[in-house]
Structure 1
C-alpha cells in the first residue's frame, strides 16, 4: 500500500480565515458550554439545563424533604409505605424514565424546527453484489 500522506505545503491551497464563527452549520461550529454558537445549540442547551434541574428535583427532593420535615415524611403512609421511601424508590426512577421520554420529544421538536434529519438514506439490506473487504474495512 502506497503512502499518499504528504506534508508538502504546495500540495494544498492556502487557507484563509473568515475572521469569525460560521453559525450556518451547527456541526462545524465551535462548542462552548455557556455561550453556544448557534440557535440550535442555544435551544438544545436550554432543554438540557431544564432537564438537569428537574432531574435534581426528582433525585434530591425527597431526601431534602425528609431532612426538613422528618416527622411528616416518615409518618405519612401511601400504598402501605412511608412517603419518603415511596418517593425515593418510585419517584426518582419513575422521574428519570419520564425525563427520558420528555427529552426525546423535545429533541425531536428541535430537530424538526432546525431541519435536522437523522435518517441514513441508505437501504436496509446490503448489496448482494458487494464483496466485503477481507481486513474488515472498506474497499477503496
Structure 2
C-alpha cells in the first residue's frame, strides 16, 4: 500500500462531499465534509452553524454578562443580595457556570434534532475489522 492509497479496511464510498462551498447536492456525506464557516452551502452546514453561533452568543452573554453589568452598575450589583451573597458574586460564581452547563445540554439536544432531521446516525460509525491478523513485526510487510 502506498501513501496515496486508502487503507484496505476503509470501505470505498461513492458519496461525494461538497466541502461546504459547492452547490448543494443530495449525495453529500455531511460527516466527512469540510466546512467553510463563512459560506456553507449545504443545508446541514447552514443549520449547524446557526446553532453554533446562537449558542456562542448565548454563552458570551451568560458568562460575560454579570462581569460587564458589575463594571457598568457597580453600586446596584453590590447592594443587592441573593441567598446572602452580593448579586455580582452570585451571578458570576453560580449562575455563569450553571448557565454554561445548561447551554451545553441545549446544544446537545439541538444537535440531536438536527442529526435526526438530516438522517445522520452516529451509532453505525464503527468500521469493519480486518480479517487478517495483525503483523507481529509492527505492521511492516516483508
Same fold (TM over 0.5): yes
Q: Aligned-pair distance for 1:134?
A: 3.1
Distance 1:63 1:121 in 2: 42
Q: Contact conserved, 1:23 with 1:37, CA < 8 A, in 2? A: no
- Check 1:41–1:68 CA distance in 2 against 1; reply closer, same or farther (3 A cut): same
Large movers: runs of 4+ above 2 Å: 3-6, 20-24, 26-30, 129-137
With normalisation by structure 2, the TM-score equals 0.71
2:136 aligned partner: 134
Q: Contact conserved, 2:23 with 2:42, CA < 8 A, in 1? A: no
1:50 aligned partner: 54
Q: Contact conserved, 1:30 with 1:37, CA < 8 A, in 2? A: no
Residues 1:101 and 2:105 aligned together: yes
With normalisation by structure 1, the TM-score equals 0.72
Residues 1:80 and 2:106 aligned together: no
Distance 2:37 2:137 in 1: 40
Q: Deviations over 1:21-64 (max 9, x none)?
A: 45331245442112112100100000000100000001111011
Unaligned runs of at least 5 residues, structure 2: 5-21
1:13 aligned partner: none
Q: Contact conserved, 2:66 with 2:91, CA < 8 A, in 1? A: yes
- Check 1:4–1:41 CA distance in 2 against 1; reply closer, same or farther (3 A cut): closer
2:25 aligned partner: 23
